[in-house]
Each structure stands twice: as structure tokens, then as C-alpha cells.
Amino acid sequence: MRLKGLTLATALALTPLAAQAQTAEVAPPKFRAIKIVLIGDSTSAVQGGWGPSFCGWHVTSFAACINLARGGRSSGNYRAEGSWALAMDEIKSGGFTDTYVLIQFGHNDQPGKPGRSTDLATEFPVNMKRYVDEVRAVGGKPILVTPLTRRQFKDGKLQDDLGPWADAVRKVATETNTPLVDLHARSQAAVQAMVPVEAMKFAQRPPSTEVVDAAAKTGTTIPASTGVPALPRAPAPTAQNNAAVEPMGQARLSFDYTHLGVVGADYFSAIVTDELSKSVPALRRYLIQ
């Protein structure tokens, strides 16, 4: 009986240890959360850009995705109006293993947009480098993104009006040793492979019959507002005026060759995700491709 008692006591004493060992065996691996912050213009913003699809469909639950891109902003006025200060508060807020900041400007830095335009040689690259430096200064990890292409064609050839701004971003990325998502190159190649009418599916609203017919017959895109009722005596332009159709604030829910609807957001966010997984391998585990 005494032996049985000792055996029982020993068994009872060892039970918690056995339970602990079993618990340790089934404990899930440690997985820390990260934060991804989007900074830019309407082509990455909540309305009109690829950002919503990226945050909504391409990041796991271990990555908080914050979209602070704003329509009509350039590398200059995003800072001047105070949006960058708000973004910096978000970047510095802590609580995450790493904070990655995707920075995309260019559309509104082009000439013809008063209060927004920046000089390509003396201001734009300086602004982009400053964003990189300031993100790093507070412990964030900057990632530069070249501007999304517009979808305007002439005689079947996609017009590359944002090429110089994309080149400037690539140069800053090289000089600062910053990861690059070359959205411009990928989106250019993808849209060029389509006929102009097919590329119109990426817009927020369907085009007018006149716009579709002109593109189908000549391979050239005409102003997006063609066929849409305009103000009396408004002159009919012969080419799209991007400064006029890309105003400050949220993108208008209309057809144009710049902003993205759901189809466009889904399509180009997949490209961003693919490029991001290549340029920043540490992010792959947090991305859904």
C-alpha cells in the first residue's frame, strides 16, 4: 500500500510537468505584427487609387495597413499642408515590429498645376529624398514607388508623360539605397499590351460612346469629357488636359485616363504586391499574392 501511495504521489507530482510539456509542444510560433503606411496622391488613395485593394486584399492580418495618400497632392504640397506631419505621427506611433512606408508622388508634381507643381530638377528629387531621410530618422523603413502610368494613347502607342518623374524616383532610390517598387514600368508594359479601349476598363466610370469609337478607330484617346454634357460655349479641347481633370481633393467619380475604379485598383494593387515581395523579401510573409 505504501508503494502504491508513493507511486500515486509521484504521478500526481509529475502531472503538471507533463501538461506543461504538452502545452509547449503545441504552442504556435511567435509572429509579430508590422505596419504598412501609404503616402501619395489619388492614384494610391482610398478613392481613385490602388491602395484600397492593396490594404484590403493583399496584406495578412499580421500587417496593419494605413492609407494616408490624398488626392491632388504632390511631393511639395503634401508636406506644406500638414499631411506629412500627420503621417509622421502614425509612423512614430510604435507598437509594431517594423513600420514600412510606401511613398508615391509624381502626377501632381508635373507642370500646369498651380500650388502643386514642383521643379523636376531642383525640387522633386530633393523632396523625395527628404521623405526617405525623415522616415529613417524615426525608425521607419521607406520604400519608393514610381508613379502609376496614365492610360492615354496616340496611334496605338501609350504616351509616357510621367517617364521623367519615374526616372527621378529611380535615381533617388539608387542614391539612398532605398527599396523600389517600379509601378511605372510595370503599369506601362501592362497597359501598352492592351488596345486603348481595353485599358478603359480600369477607370472609375464607363467612357462615352464617342470616346470608345475614337479609340477603336484611330488608336488615339480623345479628351475623357467628350460626349459628356459640358457648360455652354465651353471649347472642345483636342487633347486631354490632365491639370484640369485632376483637381485637388478626392478623385471625381467619372471616366478619365488616370484614376482607378475597382477593376483597376485590383489589377494594379496585384502588381504593387508582386514588386514589393521582390524588392523587400522580409515582407513576403505578410503579403497575399
pLDDT tens digits, 102-143: 999 999 999 999 999 999 999 999 999 999 999 999 999 999
Q: Are strands 153-154 and 141-145 parallel, antiparallel or unpaired?
A: unpaired
Question: Has residue 263 got a pLDDT over 60?
Answer: yes
Indicate the burial class of 269 (C-beta count within 10 angstroms; 0-12, 13-18, 19 or more): buried
CATH architecture of 34-195+261-286: 3-Layer(aba) Sandwich (3.40)
Question: Has residue 230 got a pLDDT over 80?
Answer: no
pLDDT attached to residue 227: 85
DSSP symbol at 243: H
pLDDT attached to residue 236: 46
- CA–CA dist 52, 46 (Å, integer): 5
pLDDT attached to residue 234: 42
Residue 32: pLDDT band with limits 50, 70, 90 = confident
DSSP symbol at 118: -
pLDDT tens digits, 69-106: 999 999 999 999 999 999 999 999 989 999 999 999 99
pLDDT tens digits, 144-153: 999 999 999 9
pLDDT attached to residue 244: 59
Question: Has residue 24 got a pLDDT over 60?
Answer: no
pLDDT attached to residue 243: 56
pLDDT attached to residue 27: 53
Say whether 200 sits in a helix, a strand or coil: helix
Outline where DSSP puts E strands in the chain: 34-40, 63-67, 99-104, 141-145, 153-154, 157-158, 180-181
φ, ψ of residue 187 to 5 degrees: the values are: -70, -35
Helix axes 124-137, 83-92, angle to 10 degrees: 30
Where exactly are the structural domains of the chain?
A: 34-195+261-286
Question: Has residue 28 got a pLDDT over 80?
Answer: no
Q: What share of the chain is helix, strand, coil (3-state, %, to 5)?
A: 45, 10, 45
**In this predicted model, which residue has the larger pLDDT, 249 or 232?**
249
Question: Has residue 3 got a pLDDT over 70?
Answer: no
Q: Which amino acid is at 255?
A: F
Q: Which amino acid is at 109?
A: D
Q: Which amino acid is at 43?
A: T
Q: Which amino acid is at 33?
A: A
Which residues lie below 8 Å from residue 93, measured CB to CB, with a gap of 6+? none
Using alpha carbons, list the distances in angstroms from residue 269 to 36, 71, 264.
14, 17, 8
pLDDT tens digits, 177-219: 999 999 999 999 999 999 999 999 999 999 999 999 999 999 9
Question: Has residue 251 got a pLDDT over 80?
Answer: no
**In this predicted model, which residue has the larger pLDDT, 5 or 111?**
111
Q: How many CB atoms lie within 10 A of CB 196?
A: 25
Q: Across the chain, what does the average pLDDT equal? A: 88
